Structure 1
């Protein structure tokens, strides 16, 4: 099985609940069988169940795990895009309120990559990369659209305990199809030229060299 991130040969990792997962020995990505992934309609049906409103204080507190450490690293007036903003772009609102102009993009709720700028001072991606069917494609986009010295802010639950994978709540979401380890981000740093800051599960900040 070819890894969906680095294209190396991956081996079977686990079969559970009728789902088959593979582990890449090169980048350490764990991913679901590419022929068993949810359809766009199935994904949207699951996403529409979320109640993530921009004015929800609890949701804003959740997003502040990424927003707070990111904003301390941004230059005044920095501009960016929230990639995978969802139907309620709360993070973009929080960044705009703090003086950081933030566009939004989402393949379902705010489509149109062509309207975005060529490069940004920052890109945020919260609770998105675990959904990617072809993560190599999106990571190429990140590498091309973050300016040198700019920041990529990622929020996703890291896979840190293989023995708990079968019962892990994060795995049981039918739209979560790839799972990331600190070693995966470190591999991406070496391959694409990021300085990796693991601020604590579930947040990693990556600065473009």
Structure 2
């Protein structure tokens, strides 16, 4: 069944205290800023309308992360059912053009033959194939489609993660894991749609129609990550950033 656009609703009931701890920086005191209701269309066969999907989003005052209340997350099975509907064909020229917003600036900054990791590559690792086509050996890791713990136990010249970080339950832990998997001077490229500060814009934001988008990053959040971890940081496209770890 398809869904109608999200509309703002009245405030939700009180959230559990644990929901107020930021999943990125672990700071307590995040405040609810948005209660959304996604109304479902009636079933064409029965005419019955499923219950509305209600979600609450909080904003961290320290790192500025916008995140779905952890108590309202889907279970793993429901998440994978949504992921299985994604169609990311490595041969699709439109998808390759989309990925080029991160791929091209990464290539401009990589040494010849640099090897990388595509973290969260999905069932069709298009970005890894693009890097391999220009001479960069790639390892793959995806929790659901390409589990590869060995790739996380060694270091790489670069890591790319496209349309992944918004799905992570513990993005702070994963970010530190990425940094531990990078050689000195290594690059970390991330693609995700930026979260606006304006609440009216957020109410219209298509990204919030996907309940698997649990952590939403803004340029302010990425700048916080760079300061906290001592990284150089570049915004190379509206939805793409590159971090560089120090040489020592």
After TM superposition, the score normalised by the length of structure 2 is: 0.82
Counterpart check, 1:30 vs 2:66: yes
Which aligned pairs between 1:120-199 and structure 2 lie closer than 5 A? 120-160=156-196, 161-199=198-236
CA distance in 1, matches of 2:152, 2:178: 12
Indicate the larger mover: 106-115 or 56-65: 106-115
Indicate the larger mover: 179-188 or 191-200: 191-200
State the SS of the aligned residue for 1:137: helix
Counterpart check, 1:105 vs 2:141: yes
Aligned residues: 209
Deviation at 1:112, TM superposition (A): 2.6
Q: For the Cα contact (< 8 Å) 2:140–2:151, is it kept in 1?
A: no
Equivalent position to 1:12, from 32, 50, 53 = 32
Which aligned pairs between 1:190-209 and structure 2 lie closer than 5 A? 190-209=227-246
CA distance in 2, matches of 1:117, 1:67: 24
User: Could you say which residue in structure 2 is the equivalent of 1:64?
Assistant: 100
| Structure 2 runs not aligned, ≥5 long | 1-19, 38-53
Residues 58-84 of structure 1 show CA distances to partners (whole Å, capped at 9, x for unaligned) of 111111111001000001110010000
Deviation at 1:117, TM superposition (A): 4.8
CA distance in 1, matches of 2:152, 2:63: 29
User: Could you say which residue in structure 1 is the equivalent of 2:7?
Assistant: none
User: Could you say which residue in structure 2 is the equivalent of 1:41?
Assistant: 77
Based on CA coordinates, which of the two structures has the bigger radius of gyration?
A: 2
Deviation at 1:115, TM superposition (A): 4.3
- CA-based RMSD of the aligned residues comes to 1.1
